[in-house]
């Protein structure tokens, strides 16, 4: 079905144009007109892929979580549970330019979601699946008897999720203070503190 | 100098009108025209207090950190260092409607700052002073020999700061999941894990 593949790849190309505008000019500048121009496409062609501005925005936001999810799914496990935990968190935080771009775009959407219920619902959906992931990872570590005494699975999952998202915020707002190296050190320190 | 007081209180009144617009319609809707209307003031009067849109935005953002800072300064200490730490963190996270409003407004500005260097510089300034606060609190706990063995002051300060800002993000984006009670539980759990 080459036509469908082409349709999807055009939508991704347009969403990536939206990402570039978000990063350089801000999310308020993401109009169908500006995105068409950035992607080198006519407004009429864009309308073929996205009927509305909201649809374009929703797809552009979803592309961030889809990319993270697809990297997490295709991960190859070598090393123990600690290495797995580090590798998973590494996919969520701005350790390199690609992931910094994703985090910036995500963050811009999160700011906009405060007064936009449909973006807010999408954010909460991703929040819930990340929370479930952190809870499952914590349960695994406890089950394998790798954690220090006194760990509470639910509070630990909430704390780790908050720490990771806080590192995203700091990496996005203060990239020269919270470099990739610094972020890795904090994550590693956290794992030292919870694991035997 | 009653005239100056009046000038300041008018600026605050306008900034609070900007906050209401950010929370209900989004930060893109904060124009001088919309803010004047929301505050029940003429555009000409507004121009007397804020010459430009950027000045109004900067003042509205600064009002969040000024309010937090003034609450922190006027805190009365009773109880030990752990209670102090909990009380300080309580001023930074969305535990009630007023603080949720501040966090939402802050978060909207942070999203906008990605493509706005002057807002970004203000964010980094506040980040640095909060980091210094967390570092000082951690140093105090270590000096008083209240921490568990193996605490690294700098990494602990970075981790706690990230956790607190992550709780702000989750409290803002998912208020029905991260209620004030849940946030307090996570903070208390964190302090249990680092203190003897």
Kindly report, residue by residue over B31-52, the tens digit of the pLDDT. Answer: 999 999 999 999 999 999 999 9
CA distance A43 to chain B (A): 23
Chain A residues near residue B161 by CB distance under 8 angstroms: 166, 170
Burial of A88 (0-12, 13-18, 19+ CB in 10 A): middle
List the beta bridge partners of residue B147. B195
* Cβ-contact B32, B56 below 8 angstroms: yes
- Tens digits of per-residue pLDDT, B93-114? 999 999 999 999 999 999 999 9
**DSSP classification of residue A144:** T
pLDDT of residue B77: 77
Euclidean distance between CA atoms B10 and B2, whole angstroms: 12
| Count of other CB atoms within 10 angstroms of residue B7 | 13
CATH code that applies to domain A63-194: 1.10.357.10
C-alpha distances out from residue A11 to A6, A48, A187, Å: 9, 10, 35
From-to residues of CATH 1.10.357.10 in chain B: 61-194
> A1-51: CATH homologous superfamily?
Homeodomain-like (1.10.10.60)
- Residue A77 reports pLDDT greater than 70: yes
Q: Do the Cβ atoms of B108 and A120 come within 8 Å?
A: no
From-to residues of CATH 1.10.10.60 in chain A: 1-51
- Residue B3 reports pLDDT greater than 70: no
Q: Name every residue whose Cβ is closer than 8 Å to that of residue A79 and which is 6 or more positions away in sequence.
A: A87
Token reading at B192? 């249990």
- Tens digits of per-residue pLDDT, A2-33? 555 588 999 999 999 999 999 999 999 999 99
Q: Which residue in B has a C-alpha nearest to residue A25's C-alpha?
A: B115
Q: In CATH, what is the architecture of B61-194?
A: Orthogonal Bundle (1.10)
Instruction: Return phi, psi of residue A79, to 5°.
Output: 100, 175
Q: Considering only A3-7, A45-49, A122-126, which range has the smallest mean pLDDT?
A: A3-7
Euclidean distance between CA atoms B154 and B134, whole angstroms: 9
End-to-end CA distance of chain B: 52
C-alpha distances out from residue B180 to A36, B59, B95, B185, B186, Å: 43, 28, 4, 9, 10
The string of DSSP letters for B72-121 reads HHT----S-HHHHHHHHHHHHS--SHHHHHHHHHHHHHHHHHTT-HHHHH
Q: Find the CB nearest A162 among B28, B109, B186.
A: B186
Q: Find the CB nearest B162 among A110, A156, A163.
A: A163
Strand, helix or coil for residue A182: helix
């Amino acid at each position: 079905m080459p036509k469908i593949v082409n349709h999807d790849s055009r939508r991704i190309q347009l969403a990536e144009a939206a990402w570039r505008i978000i990063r350089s000019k801000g999310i308020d500048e993401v109009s169908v007109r500006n995105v068409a121009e950035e992607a080198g496409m006519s407004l009429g062609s864009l309308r073929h892929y996205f009927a509305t501005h909201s649809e374009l925005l929703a797809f552009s936001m979803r592309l961030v979580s889809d990319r993270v999810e697809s990297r997490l799914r295709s991960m190859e496990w070598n090393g123990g549970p600690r290495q797995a935990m580090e590798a998973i968190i590494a996919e969520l935080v701005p350790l390199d330019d690609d992931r910094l771009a994703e985090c910036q775009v995500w963050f811009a959407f999160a700011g906009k979601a405060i007064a936009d219920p449909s973006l807010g619902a999408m954010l909460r959906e991703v929040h819930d699946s990340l929370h479930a992931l952190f809870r499952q990872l914590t349960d695994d570590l406890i089950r394998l008897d790798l954690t220090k005494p006194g760990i509470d699975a639910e509070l630990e999952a909430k704390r780790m999720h908050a720490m990771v998202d806080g590192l995203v915020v700091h990496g996005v707002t203060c990239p020269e203070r919270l470099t990739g190296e610094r972020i890795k050190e904090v994550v590693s320190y956290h794992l030292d503190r919870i694991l035997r």
